[in-house]
Amino acid sequence: MPTPSMEDYLERIYLLIEDKGYARVSDIAEALDVHPSSVTKMVQKLDQTEYVIYEKYRGFVLTPKGKKVGKRLVYRHDLLEEFMRIIGVSNENIYQDVEGIEHHLSWDAIDRIGDLVQYFEEDKNRVEILRKVQKKNETENNKIN
Ligand SMILES: [Mn+2]
């Protein structure tokens, strides 16, 4: 299994390739806000673990294994964002919250969150009921404070 840091890279590389057809060291460095030398180091590590094929001076591509894992990591990120939206987390917090938890949940937990997202999406009334609970809590908190 890739480490959390490898996961961040694989996720980003997958998105860049999906978006532009390729991922350069400089694009990854910019997207992850890290030094290009860190990217080169990580890409070498991802090459050794067979997630990418690195060709010096020519860039790199994802292996089938790298593609499969990258796709799963992007799915996980998007699912968690959707989950955050449904439970009513403010938009401005969603991205950072997902970045903070995504590497630390089991795939079991991810799949159960997937069930819950589906549960809410299958019947929007369920979201409305949740919002009512939240409104009630908000009103009560306002009374206390
Ligand atoms: Mn992410």
- 92-122 pLDDT, tens per residue? 999 999 999 999 999 999 999 999 999 999 9
- Ligand 1 mean position, distance from CA 145 (Å): 35
Taking Cα atoms as reference points, which of 96, 95, 86, 94 lies closest to residue 131?
86
- Ligand 1 mean position, distance from CA 95 (Å): 8
Q: Is the pLDDT of residue 49 over 80?
A: yes
| Domain 72-142, second-level architecture | Orthogonal Bundle (1.10)
Annotated binding site for Mn(2+): 8, 11, 77, 99, 102-103
* Domain extent listing, the chain: 4-68, 72-142
Q: Could you give phi then psi for residue 62, rounded to 5 degrees?
A: -80, 140
- Ligand 1 mean position, distance from CA 77 (Å): 5
- Ligand 1 mean position, distance from CA 142 (Å): 34
- Ligand 1 mean position, distance from CA 5 (Å): 10
pLDDT above 90 covers a percentage of the chain that reads 81
What is the spatial distance between Cα 72 and Cα 14, in angstroms, rounded to a whole number? 10
Q: What is the CA radius of gyration of the chain?
A: 19
Asked, colleague to colleague, whether 4-68 and 72-142 share their fold, the answer is: no
pLDDT one-digit tens code per residue, 26-36: 999 999 999 99
pTM metric for this prediction = 0.88
CATH class label, 4-68: mainly alpha
